[in-house]
Structure 1
């Protein structure tokens, strides 16, 4: 994999992250203000990947208030020029090296059944780390999403022991 550097975002990254997400359909675009909050209030649980000074990837996430042992990965975006290089898994590995995430026991996320790329990335992460992956229904298209969005399934990966993860 080409050399990427990984870091937490800062407020000045919000516009570039917003643009990256917009260039990565079918990802849901949030408001620029939401991305600004991710880069400030949730910066310690997000990762930005850069190569040659350009943003190549982004993971947003947070620790669940009701389940602090879980790290929720909200969104993963990889720029078109960096796809197929394992950057998504590399960003997940980097994320679990950050102090705010290091003690997480589980990675949790929601993914639509049709999002093959994300499903493959999370499966690859689990397989490479020798972790269990569980998938179950979470948010129903009609009941929770007003029929306007595909159902989301909960993916849970763990148990994590960051001291033994391979990077």
Structure 2
């Protein structure tokens, strides 16, 4: 588990997992821009993700370059839930399980001590994301439930596919320290 601003290296490959900082905002924007079909956000939005949500998001770098990022936050009305906003992995790192390792890193953070569920939204045809979150649920030995949350016509005026809300959990509570 990370302590404040402490970085760790993954054993499987030379990657550093850490809390993001404001300096990650622009590189995050570029990483997303180079990873279609992800929805781009403004640099300002990415700066807010990297600062306001730093305790629940994760940046991964290799040789000083940002190669993975998950923006996530705890919704104010759901203190037992971490919501994964966006997952991005550089094409050089795909197929190595990096996205799942980033999610595991997030749910182990001190900021997520009371988290028992992980939520995200995915379009019905995004097979890679469905596989990732199903695999994460299996690894966490818990359930994955889903239903359409934002509808194509009602919420996106026909300009974006519907988004299903996935809810993974509950996660087991860690043992109490004596």
Q: Identify whether the pair has TM-score above 0.5, normalized to the shorter chain.
A: yes
Determine which structure has greater relative contact order: mean sequence separation of CA pairs < 8 Å that are 6+ residues apart, divided by chain length: 1
User: Which structure has the greater CA radius of gyration?
Assistant: 2
Q: Secondary structure at the match of 2:80?
A: strand
**Residue in structure 2 matching 1:30, options 14, 23, 41:** 41
Show the counterpart of 1:4.
15
Q: Show the 5 A alignment for 1:150-165.
A: 150-161=161-172, 163=174
- Structure 2 segments unaligned to the other structure (5+ residues): 1-11
- Structure 1 segments unaligned to the other structure (5+ residues): none
List per-residue Cα deviations over 1:15-39 (Å, max 9, x = no partner).
1000011111111001000000111
Q: Give TM-score, length-normalised by structure 2.
A: 0.88
Give the Å deviation of 1:2: 1.9
Give the Å deviation of 1:110: 0.4
Distance in 1 separating the partners of 2:14 and 2:171: 26
Say whether 1:43 aligns with 2:66: no
Distance in 2 separating the partners of 1:3 and 1:69: 32
Distance in 2 separating the partners of 1:41 and 1:162: 26
Aligned residues: 164
Say whether 1:140 aligns with 2:140: no
Distance in 1 separating the partners of 2:37 and 2:124: 13
RMSD of aligned alpha carbons = 1.2
More strand by share: 1
